Amino acid sequence: MTRSRQLVETALLVVTVASITGATVLSQVRTDAPSNQSTQPWSPDGVDTLAVLLVSAGCPACSDSSFVRSVNRTVNAQAALSADRFHFAGVAVDWNVRMGLNALEKLGPFSEVSAGNNWANTAMFHWVWSDSFMAGGVPQLLIVERHIRYAENEPRILVDRQKVADRLLGAVAIKEWMEARRAIGVVHNE
Q: pLDDT band for 16, please (50, 70, 90 cuts).
A: very low
Q: Please state the pTM of the whole predicted model.
A: 0.73
What CA dihedral angle connects 77, 28, 167 and 184, to 10 degrees?
A: -10
DSSP codes joined into one string, 131-178: STTPPP-SSEEEEEEEEEEEPTTSSSEEEEEEEEEEEEESHHHHHHHH
Q: pLDDT band for 1, please (50, 70, 90 cuts).
A: low
- What are the residue boundaries of the structural domains of the chain, listed by start? 3-33+43-183
Residue range 63-105, pLDDT digits in tens: 999 999 999 988 888 777 756 678 889 999 999 999 999 999 9
Other Cβ atoms within 10 Å of 93 Cβ, number = 28
pLDDT, residue 100, reads: 96
The phi, psi pair for 7, rounded to 5°, reads -65, -45
Q: Spell out the residues 6+ positions from residue 38 whose beta carbon is closer than 8 angstroms to its own.
A: 82, 83, 84
Residue range 113-166, pLDDT digits in tens: 999 999 999 999 988 888 767 778 899 999 999 898 888 888 888 888 888 889
Q: pLDDT band for 20, please (50, 70, 90 cuts).
A: very low
113-130 burial code (b ≥16 CB/10 A, e <16)? bbbbbeeebebbebbbee
Write down how long the chain is.
190
Fold of 3-33+43-183: Glutaredoxin (3.40.30)
Q: What angle do CA 143, 144, 147 make, to 5 degrees?
A: 150
Position with higher pLDDT, 151 vs 21: 151
Position with higher pLDDT, 80 vs 6: 80
